[in-house]
Structure 1
């Protein structure tokens, strides 16, 4: 394949994944924009809650990434049984991890009181954190079906579901945060309930979409229990755990910076939430390219085509560099305008 062909294939595969990744972030962005209209304290509370939630969510997402290369490799070999087996094992792993993470947060959430954060922000953060933590289950169920479809190069399936889920989330935010259609205004907690409902919708909708999709009917065995093997669990965990840990190390420094901003006060913490929320958009866009790399390289390895493994890797790295430079330019040009989308507080906007 020529460089142009590699780039075209990258775009075809990566664009739906990138937009789907943006969908994950957009849900948080819209939450923060709509929460910011309530005040700086709820926005600071969301920032503190996300210190814990984002690390655990990204760890779970990283673990789920193990499904895609193994399915892509099996697809390259036209091994239907291996594809079904990888999904079944991956689904069980992701559900178990979601429960472990939920229990860990529920047991440790009150530690936010012991890290010298603004009292009013912590009071807002804890109920919100309790609600959104439950959404780890539907997130990882969604991720299982998404990585399965992505591994078969059907990257647009999750995008369709994500678009609808984001529209639902905006409507529910409007209803629950501000109090409309007979509901009382719940502020930050309302955003948590909106996110939780939207994520359950995502998981159920994608599962139904996969079940009825014409190209995936031959894989309906994934919806039935089957035999499990220690080897397949190990293969998934050997890829997934390091990927999840990589996500943790990438975001841990940013999350600790939120704790440090809390030491400086509520307004500074709210401003940090705006800045890091925007930065996450660029990061998740490029991680979509990474997902495309997993699909393409896994497929080529399945075909023993190592020349195209190298060529596709170079083309994807080049695209990532160009995209991140473009995001940097956009953020620099819009550095005064973007924060004003979130909040009307001049002090918070100035810091952001």
Structure 2
């Protein structure tokens, strides 16, 4: 076991001081080059799932309802696994920053191991979803159809996690355009497979929701295999020989992935759980409120893809600087990313304030009298979402910055406090006790995210006094 302190610039392997970190302008350019394909890839990933929802709607209302029930149920489990696996990103970035290329290979291999273990656990938990749906009061028809989808779609977890490991490997090297290209290919493959298997075209059987589940697993497998093929044949990456001695354990690294990743998974689950709880609260208010909430939340979710992509780039940039023992680089990478993410959200904040009907018009026919109540509610919710955007963008990028320092456990605790001890109770109090309705619920969400945002930014600002730049690396080689 070796320990590295980042109190000052450590010398390189040759004993000479490391070159100075790039300037602020150079950091902006480097972060932008890394981030923009990840941003577009996140939007493309959302388009992939949107395709599923649209085609479920073509099957009919009962299939759309059951499919939505199934995907909503699976989503927190998938995000939990993604959080765990994403721990390989800062580990790889720190290793590359320190020119420890053997560690990159071993982290990739153990990322595969962790993917298998996490998939096995999650499949066991959600395999018999129908019984849980019935216990929660869902109809027998919806429960059966939803489980029919889940029984096939759940196998997509393994290739999705394996793809994430390779995506982290490429991102750590600054190679993100290929990720975007493969994700776009995935959208078209998914649409073609859905069309064939869900509706029985081109000689395939009509499998309906089961066909959608098979398609989901197939497209994730294709994306993983395309990425693996790229890495195995590209001269820059094939030197890692990531499949050589794949059976060989590295328990220290295996445990390190869980040590860093479990808090990330819990943080993501806590945040998605907050929005799920807010949706339940909206359902208590009525159908119009729930519809307006869904519209505002979808608008906010699309805008959120930009700071989310910047957050992923921030983890890599900060991790690289940490691996180089470069405190100045850590400072620049962190603050540039936070400013970029928050700065973008200022534009969406103004857009939601100034032209809300432009966005709502994508989801509601503004000329239909029956939609006027939902329209008015959606406008008021978007006004709150405008403020919500600023703190949401800031907190997700700040979380990515802290992950670059492998700081995940304490942020997880603060996130749970912000979302569940503050955010949800404030939503309930403002929405029901004070009579604020849906606007009050959204104010609670904004309050919880604002708290987490402030804590994360302060934590990064105080990184040295909190000892976040003193780290123990796992065994090299």
For the aligned pair, the TM-score class normalised by the smaller chain equals 0.7 to 0.9
Task: Mark the CA change 1:282 to 1:110 in structure 2 (over 3 Å): closer, same or farther.
Answer: farther
- TM-score (normalizing by structure 1): 0.87
Does residue 231 in structure 1 map to residue 255 in structure 2?
Answer: no
Task: Mark the CA change 1:154 to 1:221 in structure 2 (over 3 Å): closer, same or farther.
Answer: same
Q: Secondary structure of the equivalent of 2:362?
A: helix
Give me the whole-angstrom Cα distance separating, in 1, the residues matched to 2:318 and 2:219: 33
Q: Residues 130-279 of structure 1: matches in 2 within 5 Å? A: 130-225=151-246, 227-258=248-279, 276=297, 279=300
Q: Is the contact made by 1:44 and 1:273 (CA closer than 8 Å) also made in structure 2?
A: no
The number of residue pairs the alignment matches comes to 349
Q: Residues 306-317 of structure 1: matches in 2 within 5 Å? A: 306-317=327-338
Which structure is higher in helix share? Answer: 1
Report which stretch shifted further, 325-334 or 120-129: 325-334
Give me the whole-angstrom Cα distance separating, in 1, the residues matched to 2:343 and 2:56: 33
Q: Which residue of 1 aligns with 2:460?
A: none
* Counterpart among 342, 362, 377 of residue 321 in structure 1: 342
Q: Residues 78-97 of structure 1: matches in 2 within 5 Å? A: 78-97=99-118
Q: Which residue of 1 aligns with 2:62?
A: 41
Task: Mark the CA change 1:197 to 1:66 in structure 2 (over 3 Å): closer, same or farther.
Answer: same
Does residue 338 in structure 1 map to residue 359 in structure 2?
Answer: no
Task: Mark the CA change 1:257 to 1:121 in structure 2 (over 3 Å): closer, same or farther.
Answer: farther
Give me the whole-angstrom Cα distance separating, in 1, the residues matched to 2:364 and 2:205: 26
Q: Is the contact made by 1:44 and 1:267 (CA closer than 8 Å) also made in structure 2?
A: no
Q: Which has the larger radius of gyration?
A: 2
Task: Mark the CA change 1:205 to 1:268 in structure 2 (over 3 Å): closer, same or farther.
Answer: farther
Give me the whole-angstrom Cα distance separating, in 2, the residues matched to 1:131 and 1:96: 19
Task: Mark the CA change 1:221 to 1:33 in structure 2 (over 3 Å): closer, same or farther.
Answer: closer
Task: Mark the CA change 1:327 to 1:193 in structure 2 (over 3 Å): closer, same or farther.
Answer: farther
Q: Residues 17-96 of structure 1: matches in 2 within 5 Å? A: 17-96=38-117
- TM-score (normalizing by structure 2): 0.66
Q: Which residue of 2 aligns with 1:5?
A: 26
Residue 54 of structure 1, CA deviation: 0.8
Q: Secondary structure of the equivalent of 2:260?
A: helix
Give me the whole-angstrom Cα distance separating, in 2, the residues matched to 1:15 and 1:172: 28
Q: Secondary structure of the equivalent of 1:139?
A: helix
Q: Which residue of 1 aligns with 2:388?
A: none
Report which stretch shifted further, 235-244 or 20-29: 20-29
* Counterpart among 325, 329, 336 of residue 304 in structure 1: 325
Q: Output one character per residue of 1:264-298: Cα deviation in whole Å (capped at 9) or x when no partner.
A: 99999888766655543333432211110111011
Residue 56 of structure 1, CA deviation: 1.0
Report which stretch shifted further, 289-298 or 180-189: 180-189
Report which stretch shifted further, 106-115 or 58-67: 106-115
Q: Is the contact made by 1:32 and 1:43 (CA closer than 8 Å) also made in structure 2?
A: yes
Does residue 287 in structure 1 map to residue 308 in structure 2?
Answer: yes
Report which stretch shifted further, 18-27 or 129-138: 18-27
Q: CA RMSD in A?
A: 3.0
Give me the whole-angstrom Cα distance separating, in 1, the residues matched to 2:192 and 2:323: 44
Residue 219 of structure 1, CA deviation: 0.6
Report which stretch shifted further, 151-160 or 120-129: 120-129
Q: Is the contact made by 1:43 and 1:270 (CA closer than 8 Å) also made in structure 2?
A: no
Q: Is the contact made by 2:109 and 2:242 (CA closer than 8 Å) also made in structure 1?
A: no
Task: Mark the CA change 1:64 to 1:131 in structure 2 (over 3 Å): closer, same or farther.
Answer: same
Q: Output one character per residue of 1:46-81: Cα deviation in whole Å (capped at 9) or x when no partner.
A: 221122211111111111111111111111111121
**Structure 1 gap ranges (5+):** none
Task: Mark the CA change 1:31 to 1:226 in structure 2 (over 3 Å): closer, same or farther.
Answer: closer
